[in-house]
Amino acid sequence: MNDRAEARPACWKWPLPTAEPGPGPEAGTGQDDLTAEAAEDLREILADDPEERDRALLVAWQGGRCAICNRRRELVDDHDHATGLLRGLLCSSCNTIEGRSTQPIFVRYRERPPTAILQLRIRYWNMYTLSYAEPSTPPITAASAQEALDRLVIPAADETV
């Protein structure tokens, strides 16, 4: 199999926060580690708002790295339009490609993004509408409409409700 078919998002290789403090960031290695102490400090600081705490944990864990390509660039929020939830932080290049690509690395990222790895649930804040993104409504198909009608129980005219 070729390397492209085997490509995995960079975030799949990053160490998870652990109970034991790690060695800390090592410049240029891409092996930044969020220690248990650092995670606990962030939890205490942001205890009043669990969503902000989770976002701070995600930002700290990603350490300025794109979840797909691992490059250190300005990152943007990537969210799932179906759920309205944040998936991770991506560079603009990866975020632009990710939404339309069927390349294995992007498909795998969508299957297991950073928020899933860290078991976080963060709503996406849309800075243009100044509101949280709403989950998209699945399209109604003729088959789904018929299924809904089939489940309806309509009392006979002579039955009392």
Residue-range domain boundaries for the chain:
3-151
How confident is the model over 2-22, as a mean pLDDT?
Answer: 74
- Kindly state the tokens that stand for 13: 């290789």
What pLDDT is stored for residue 27 in this prediction? 36
Query: Per the structure block, which two tokens stand in for 128?
Result: 């243009």
pLDDT at 29: 42
User: Which one-letter amino acid corresponds to residue 6?
Assistant: E
Of the candidate ranges 56-65, 86-95, 103-112, 121-130, the one whose mean pLDDT is the lowest:
121-130
Higher pLDDT, 41 or 98: 98
In one-letter notation, the amino acid at residue 9 is: P
- The more confidently predicted of residues 140 and 83 is 83
The model scores a pTM over 0.75: no
